[in-house]
């Protein structure tokens, strides 16, 4: 199979959850999981229920799971396996690593966060600022809901310690030029701290090409279990003093920031998710299909539907925030569920800074396509939207 051709029917056959005729168009809230991931987790619980260092078979098995997961995370993010940090979730890792990074910061130091950001990438800095007398300021968005790089450049100064932003918006799908964000941050002597949770399911990540210092994502967004995964620039990780139980393993450097016994069954599931993508060419192989889904959706939208943000597939992933004229968002979501399409209605989508820039009064509907969705699902959903006001 070529890197640009995805056999969607064969892919869907690997999911029990996709065999019942319901169209899950809610990938931004968490993807469906192929059976092989659950099976890998079950195998780990059955056959590797032990701990590191045990001088018998289960000790060797859990060591193999951990080594494999680190290698897979390195391939996923484009980094060394030693630069990977695993945690309970992206949010938990962000709270822990932000506290660690700030041990030697001073009152009045500044943190810049983007209005596109999910609050998991904002709240850690706000809490830290409240405890330590730091300042947090927003990087604004443009009219079409992209990060305003000119605003970022204006707000950077010698007191800025971190520029934190998403790689792709969980609410409206906009992709951020993180390479440029990293360059601007570094010119000011600040760290580039990137939330790649939403982007990781849709396009390849290469932390070297992005130039960032810290990047975080979550496996449950790309067909894996609930597990946080982070990259830290090795020189940076070496310079930080972690919050850590003292006898716990601290090599390679990423392990210095992992607390407690690793969740071996989740690590096994994570590796199975990466292996799943490997079978059809890696995450980069889904891009063409997903862009076709998004393009078809935009082409078929009736005039009664408004899309907030970018109106093309350029500069975005296939996640859309919409409303239907005259039909409350909650009613749209409820009606679509009865017609076999899973979407959600919400007000801020955890992007509290972005909510101030969105024009709807109450809620909006989020539609998110992923590689296992089909053109037929897109067409059917668009037709049902048209029926709402027909």
Residue by residue, DSSP assigns 220-289 as: GGGTS-S-EEEEE-HHHHHHS-----TTS---SGGGGG--SS--HHHHHHHHHHHHHHHTTT-GGGGHHH
pLDDT digits (tens, 9 = 90+) for 215-233: 999 999 999 999 999 999 9
Q: How far apart are CA 58 and CA 209, in angstroms?
A: 38
Q: Which residue has the higher pLDDT, 187 or 246?
A: 187
Query: How many beta carbons lie within 10 A of that of residue 183, not counting itself?
Result: 12
Asked whether the beta carbons of 206 and 78 are under 8 A apart, the reply is yes
pLDDT at 249: 74
Instruction: List b or e across 132-169, with b for residues whose CB sees 16 or more CB atoms inside 10 angstroms.
Output: eebebebbbbeeebbbbeebbeebbeebbbbbbbbbbb
For the chain, the average pLDDT equals 96
Q: What is the CATH number of domain 8-34+283-389?
A: 3.90.1150.10
Nearest to 175 by CA among 156, 200, 143, 192: 200
Cβ(177)–Cβ(157) below 8 Å: no
The reported pLDDT for the residue numbered 246 is 80
- CB of 6 within 8 A of CB of 280? yes
Among the ranges given (48-62, 81-95, 267-281), the one the predictor scored with the smallest mean pLDDT: 48-62
- For 39-278, CATH gives 3.40.640.10
pLDDT band at residue 251 using 50, 70 and 90 as cut-offs: confident
Find tokens 């709270």 and name the residue. 95
What is the radius of gyration, based on Cα positions, of the chain?
21
Mean pLDDT of all residues in 170-180? 98
Burial of residue 246 (CB within 10 Å: 0-12, 13-18, 19+) is exposed
Distance CA 73, CA 256 (A): 16
Q: How far apart are CA 110 and CA 123, in angstroms?
A: 14
Are 389 and 304 contacting, i.e. CB atoms less than 8 angstroms apart? yes
Domain locations in the chain as residue ranges: 8-34+283-389, 39-278
Sign for the CA dihedral angle at 37, 38, 43, 46 comes to positive
């Amino acid at each position: 199979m070529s890197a640009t051709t995805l056999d969607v029917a064969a892919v869907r056959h690997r999911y029990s959850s996709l065999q019942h005729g319901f169209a899950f168009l809610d990938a931004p809230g968490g993807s469906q999981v192929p059976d092989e991931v659950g099976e890998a987790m079950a195998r780990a619980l059955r056959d590797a229920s032990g701990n590191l260092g045990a001088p018998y078979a289960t000790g060797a098995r859990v060591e193999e799971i951990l080594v494999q997961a680190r290698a897979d995370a390195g391939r996923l993010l484009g980094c060394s396996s030693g630069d990977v940090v695993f945690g309970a979730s992206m949010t938990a890792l962000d709270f822990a690593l932000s506290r660690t990074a700030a041990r030697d910061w001073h009152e009045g130091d500044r943190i810049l966060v983007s209005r596109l950001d999910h609050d998991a990438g904002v709240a850690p800095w706000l809490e830290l600022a409240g405890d330590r007398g730091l300042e947090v300021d927003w990087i604004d968005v443009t009219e079409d809901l992209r990060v305003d790089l000119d605003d970022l450049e204006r707000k950077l100064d010698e007191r800025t310690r971190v520029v934190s932003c998403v790689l792709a918006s969980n609410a409206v799908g906009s992709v951020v030029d993180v390479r440029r964000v990293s360059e601007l941050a570094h010119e000011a002597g600040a760290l580039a701290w990137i939330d790649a949770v939403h982007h990781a399911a849709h396009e390849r990540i290469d932390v070297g090409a992005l130039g960032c210092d810290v990047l975080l994502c979550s496996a449950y967004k790309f067909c894996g279990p609930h597990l946080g995964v982070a990259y830290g620039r090795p020189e940076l990780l070496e310079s930080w003093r972690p919050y850590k139980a003292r006898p716990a393993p601290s090599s390679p450097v990423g392990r210095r920031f992992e607390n407690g016994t690793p969740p071996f069954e989740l690590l096994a599931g994570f590796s199975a998710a990466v292996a799943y993508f490997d079978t059809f060419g890696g995450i980069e192989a889904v891009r063409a299909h997903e862009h076709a889904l998004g393009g078809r959706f935009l082409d078929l939208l009736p005039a009664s539907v408004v899309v907030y943000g970018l109106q093309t597939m350029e500069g975005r992933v296939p996640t859309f925030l919409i409303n239907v004229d005259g039909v409350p968002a909650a009613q749209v979501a409820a009606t679509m569920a009865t017609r076999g399409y899973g979407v959600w209605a919400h007000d801020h989508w955890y992007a509290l800074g972005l909510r101030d820039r969105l024009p709807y009064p109450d809620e909006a509907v989020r539609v998110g396509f992923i590689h296992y969705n089909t053109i037929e699902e897109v067409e059917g959903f668009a037709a049902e939207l048209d029926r709402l006001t027909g």
